[in-house]
Structure 1
Amino acid sequence: MAPEQDLDVEQEHDADEYEDEAEEAKDSSSDSEADRREFGLYQCLPVEPGEPDWDTEEPQTVEEYLRRVRYEAQQLPDVVSAAALPPAAPSSDQQTAADAPHGQQAGEASRQQHRQRRVLAGASAQHGSSYLTADPGVQDCDPGLKPSSAWTRDFLQQFARLRRHLQREQEMLSEQAGGTSSGGGGGGGSGSARLSLLAGGAAAAMAAEELAALQLDPPSDAMPELQQLRGLDQLQVRRQLHSAIRAAVEEEVVAPEAAATLYALSARIEKPLHAGTCALYRQLLRHCAAQRAALGGASANAACDPRLAHLNIMITIAGAYFGQDEELATMWDDDEE
């Protein structure tokens, strides 16, 4: 065979191999794309690449949150060996778990899962960035500065009752506004129109009577902050709440006026909370907890400090009622509302 023919055959062979590799790469890319869509790994919302802005304690936008999550995912190793985890030594509780009643076994299983989560969290923290490890959480304080469990439960029940009153009041105001706008049309003087107006008037009178019967418990009935929020929709309430929390965490000390405004806005905001609202409540929780810890020990001066009551109220609302603290959240269940 001539050298030219050998060269042509070799070039054809190389071209066939290149086409096969291109086809395999295309099929692999198609399979990867299908896997992303099927298993929920497809990135529906693109974000700007690069390292996130770590100067802000909490992400302020959805894009910033996704940028942090994806940045953290890129820092994780491709392969994690189970041998890197410290071996868990068997405890005496585990050895006697088989002899315990069923309820005690369930409790021990829950505690064991919690210990395993802490071990995994400690192992993953070795590969995390400063964002994962720098969060100090809720600062602890002297036990004498914390409210009692009885007070916390009673406050949460009163706060839930206040929220129900305000929600019903808002519904009644909306119904009244809807009835007024619908009753403004011309009736033509017909008998059916007069009956409709009479029925509408009776419904309006009943609504006004129910609205007048909605009385708030003291001292909430005398709060001007609650009166100023009447008629606002949830979008307006959420905007004001976000602005109030940001202003409060920027101040060195939470003023009583700011605490009253936050209390009123928290009573009007509806569940489930927006993700941004949860992040702001966590900031408020840490800020108030740090201020409470700065009051010192359970001395007479610290216990009589007028700021302590406002701080405990804010901590209970953010941590217990809205569930931003793991320990306090166990003291309130949404089903109790």
Structure 2
Amino acid sequence: MAQLYDAGPRAALDLGDVPDDASDATTEEDPQTVEAFVRRMRKESRQLGDVFLADDEAENSRRRSTASDLPETKETMPVEWARSVLADFSDLRLALEAHAAAGVGGKNGPRMPVPRLKDSRGWHRFCFGDTEACPDSSDDEEETVETPQGTLPSVRLLLQFDFVMTQRLVAMHVRWLDSCALSHNRALWLYALLARLHKPLHRDTCAVLRQLVKRLLALRDSCDEPAALNALLALAGRYFDQASADEIGSF
């Protein structure tokens, strides 16, 4: 048994010492044995490059690499300012973790009534009340929590949200932003919810944050909250790695 292990790994189908240019590997006829078929496949694979594309796909790939539906970036964030945004955000995440460890927002303490998880209109009214138009106005779900003036995010409220709810709310807010401008309160909610996202992100959440980056870049020239917009770009783009240096600069 020891001799078998000492011999090292062996090929599942040993081709022996027959070279790749043996007659049964070069003939145009169909291989007559498994060994001949494998030798022919091995020879053909060695003649191929490491990467190859079909003719149509090669042209499509070239176009995708040079064309983008995103607006050209006309300005970049000041490096020191962007770094301070990331540092403050990291400090906030650490503070939230410390409060959570102390039981804030836990099920044994006071909790704020919130809408059902899938109640999109209810959540919009909960967050913004009558201060913002709801993009989900065609939704027929009932609003379960009456907050005419909206609710600002707080430590206790954020820690009340579990991981699933946080991801769901981020997706809602990003979807709403696709149909409206970035207001101060919308920016506050997005910032707060991003602070509750845990790494590594689920692929669906990565896609949502990538959509957020694209929307923020589209709003950049017309936004009334440029500092808030750039802060969110720094977080979604750099902290969560959903933007390139060409889109938001290097910092």
Could you state the TM-score of these two structures normalised by the residue count of structure 1? 0.41
Matched, 1:322 2:240: yes
For 2:106 and 2:226, how far apart are their aligned partners in 1?
41
Show the 5 A alignment for 1:70-219: 76-77=53-54, 126-128=59-61, 135-137=68-70, 139-141=72-74, 143=75, 146-173=76-103
Deviation at 1:228, TM superposition (A): 2.7
Letter of the 1:228 counterpart: L
Letter of the 2:210 counterpart: R
Deviation at 1:177, TM superposition (A): 5.6
Deviation at 1:161, TM superposition (A): 0.2
Question: What 5-or-longer segments of structure 1 have no aligned partner?
Answer: 1-19, 33-72, 79-123, 179-222, 296-304, 332-337
Aligned to 1:300: none
Shift of the 259–175 alpha-carbon distance from structure 1 to 2, 3 Å rule, reads closer
Aligned to 1:10: none
Aligned equivalent of 2:166, options 232, 237, 242: 237
Identity of aligned residues (%): 27
CA contact (8 A) 2:170 2:193 kept: yes
Partner deviation per Cα, 1:41-75 (whole Å, 9 max, x = no partner): xxxxxxxxxxxxxxxxxxxxxxxxxxxxxxxx9x9
For 2:65 and 2:172, how far apart are their aligned partners in 1?
26
SS for the counterpart of 2:205 is helix
Letter of the 1:286 counterpart: K
CA contact (8 A) 2:210 2:236 kept: yes
For 2:58 and 2:183, how far apart are their aligned partners in 1?
37
Could you state the TM-score of these two structures normalised by the residue count of structure 2? 0.54
The answer to which structure has the higher helix fraction is 1
Letter of the 1:128 counterpart: S
For 1:152 and 1:259, how far apart are their aligned partners in 2?
16
For 1:329 and 1:140, how far apart are their aligned partners in 2?
9
For 2:249 and 2:198, how far apart are their aligned partners in 1?
17
Name the Cα RMSD after superposition.
3.7
Aligned residues: 167
Aligned to 2:194: 266
Deviation at 1:148, TM superposition (A): 1.5
Question: What 5-or-longer segments of structure 2 have no aligned partner?
Answer: 1-29, 43-50, 109-150
Aligned to 1:256: 184
Letter of the 1:153 counterpart: R
For 1:177 and 1:164, how far apart are their aligned partners in 2?
21
